[in-house]
Amino acid sequence: MTVGQFRAFVEAEGYRTEAEKDGAGGWGFDSAKSRFEGHKPRYSWRNVGWTQTNDHPVVNVTWNDAVAFCRWMSRKEGRTYRLPTEAEWEYACGAGTTTRFWSSNEREQLRGVANIADASLTARVDEKNWVFMTWNDGYPFTAPVERLRGNGLGLYDMHGNVWEWCSDWYAADYYRKSPADDPRGPDSGSVRVLRGGGFYVFPARCRSSTRDYDTPSNRYSVLGFRVVCQE
């Protein structure tokens, strides 16, 4: 979901994100120090430390913020919008492929496909321990949606750009015992699933099968969401 779409929700509902309400703020980029920092009150979805247009993916939103957006969108459109399950997300990412990335098994084939750590980010951050790709896609931080190639299902930014919240609770061993068809995740837990990787990750962290997680109230400058429209 984009900044513009989230802004429409905020303005219609008078909504304040958790980063704004609890006073802790989110994460952002301090250009004077050439590094990311947080949590700080000055950072939220409105300010991440770099320029964002309405076409950029919204970030610094919690799982709870994302669910609130889905509820509003469902009322507004008269259809059900929700976060994807982890299984739905992976199916959509792979788009029928069985390779590490929908583009291939080779990380070099992510060029033009995934906004991940590359030369554009190297030039902006003071971080010696990250693994950077040698190409420069022109987007050191988040890229506006649909700027890179989409997969076989016409979906963009499934690899890289921002991590995305899924509806599932996270359990490391869930898929050892889950249903084969349409698994929905454990019934309870303490952290929610994240998928996709972000603009600062190396290739292995944005594979179609890579899993991550965080608490539902956490927020970062590389964490957003996409939604499913359930007909």
In a domain? residue 72 = yes
Residue 180 has a pLDDT of: 87
Each residue's pLDDT tens digit, 166-189 = 999 999 999 898 988 889 999 999
In a domain? residue 46 = no
Each residue's pLDDT tens digit, 40-52 = 999 999 999 999 9
pTM, rounded to two decimals:
0.96
CATH number, domain at 155?
A: 3.90.1580.10
In a domain? residue 16 = no
Task: For residues 67 and 165, give the distance between their C-alpha atoms in angstroms, rounded to a whole number.
Answer: 10
Closest listed residue to residue 168, CA positions, set 209, 212, 201 = 212
**Domain around 131:** 61-230
In a domain? residue 156 = yes
The angle at the Cα of 98, spanning 105 to 158, to the nearest 5 degrees, equals 75
Residue 130 has pLDDT above 80, yes or no: no
In a domain? residue 52 = no
In a domain? residue 102 = yes
Residue reference for tokens 């964490």:
223
User: In the chain, how many domains are there?
Assistant: 1
